[in-house]
A and B are shown apart, each in its own frame.
Chain A
């Protein structure tokens, strides 16, 4: 049985996408926390192109980019908890939303990294993205549950970061973007996601996340202020 290693950093939501996928499938793995300020030879060797986490190493073969890792996991362990629909069209729709997440969720992280006008711009962009998601993506779920139907699938994992992580980012940035009145379908889904079997036992704690992002934001804003002096 080939061994599985995961190179990640706490509390990276990209790391967590992979952790949650491995847990859902019941796959044993060794987690190796990385120090990105002092990158390990293993990380540099396993992801020479981007030198980033997460990296999955399976039987010595490294795979990077979280959603590529998730598709690899699904194809390598197909017997338990499928992470994509079985039919090609369902998969095309799922991949469309995965790509949308990969391209559009970065504006959300900019809210946390910036202040003033720049932050305002990031907020506006994020609201636009949320409006599209609410209408076209979460709109198709209705009361159903998840993108995977009754069970979480990889589209849910792709967007799962927006639940607890975004909650923490909003709190430490002092900005409220996800208004439950404006985005009821998203909020309903996010609550279900946080409570889903396996997911609920493997998410980082809310307080730990808030504390972490608070410290990070202080450091980032201090660095930005120092740079502009």
Chain B
């Protein structure tokens, strides 16, 4: 009897990545919502190093770090693969997932919390360059994974959905339809995907939360 549990937070794109992978593969799981302002004993026990979500528990074995968990899920439930089988293509997928994490998401994070106008302008230009590079990787495909969603698309979920809300709330105009038509088309396909749709947090709730938090001086997941 398989037992799969997921410790997550409704707003976290990282825990939503894991939910998306489980749903794409039709894996049943028990979801346990965490209160990150008041961390549970369970979370502290299961992820003592980082004390963060997501944590996946499979038959009592715990693991953390969303991209690591995605690889575990793909290896354990090989139906509907999210990674290519060919080692070179797999290496490319890992490269781009890391690029999204460090350069795109990392860049956005710095912008979101930067209070200095001039510095923010410089960060936006830097991030723009990264998004241009990422856009180039679509290469005429519907998704980064080709015809179907793959690990790179899942890794880009913040860009696919959360970014739109952040831009609305903050007035940031980084990824706009006229500047990034190809990437915005990918974003449309991503949020319309039948399985992705089920895993997205409600937009109005997300909007309200970002509005509240982006005003506050320091906030972390």
Q: Would you call B72 and A63 a contact (CB within 8 A)?
A: no
**A92 located at the interface, meaning its Cβ lies under 8 Å from any Cβ of chain B in the complex:** yes
Q: How many residues of A contact B (CB 8 A)?
A: 23
- Docked complex: A126-157 residues within 8 A CB-CB of B: 132, 136
B52-95 vs A: 1/0 string, CB under 8 Å? 00000010010111011101100110000000000110111011
Complex-state Cα separation, A91 to B69, whole angstroms: 10
Q: Would you call A96 and B65 a contact (CB within 8 A)?
A: yes
Q: Would you call B98 and A91 a contact (CB within 8 A)?
A: no
- Name the one of A65, A100, A132 contacting B98, with C-beta atoms under 8 angstroms: A65
Residues from chain A with Cβ under 8 Å of B40 in the complex: none
Q: Would you call B71 and A91 a contact (CB within 8 A)?
A: yes
Decide yes or no: A96 and B68 within 8 Å by CB, A49-B133, A89-B61 being known contacts. yes
Query: B128 → chain A, closest Cβ, in Å?
Result: 15
Residues from chain A with Cβ under 8 Å of B76 in the complex: 88
Q: Would you call A136 and B48 a contact (CB within 8 A)?
A: yes
| Cβ-closest chain A residue relative to B134 | A49
Query: A205 → chain B, closest Cβ, in Å?
Result: 32
Residues from chain B with Cβ under 8 Å of A65 in the complex: 94-95, 98
Decide yes or no: A95 and B68 within 8 Å by CB, A65-B98, A68-B98, A132-B49 being known contacts. yes
Residues from chain B with Cβ under 8 Å of A96 in the complex: 63-65, 68
List of 4 A-B pairs having minimum Cβ-Cβ separation, nearest first: A75-B87, A88-B75, A72-B91, A92-B72
Interface residues of A (CB under 8 A from B): 49, 58, 61, 63-65, 68-69, 71-72, 75-76, 88-89, 91-93, 95-96, 99-100, 132, 136
Interface residues of B (CB under 8 A from A): 48-49, 58, 61, 63-65, 67-69, 71-72, 75-76, 87-88, 90-92, 94-95, 98-99, 133
For the complex with contacts A92-B68, A93-B63, 15 further pairs of A-B residues with Cβ separation under 8 Å are A58-B88, A63-B92, A65-B95, A65-B98, A68-B95, A71-B90, A71-B91, A71-B94, A91-B72, A92-B72, A95-B71, A96-B64, A99-B67, A99-B68, A132-B49
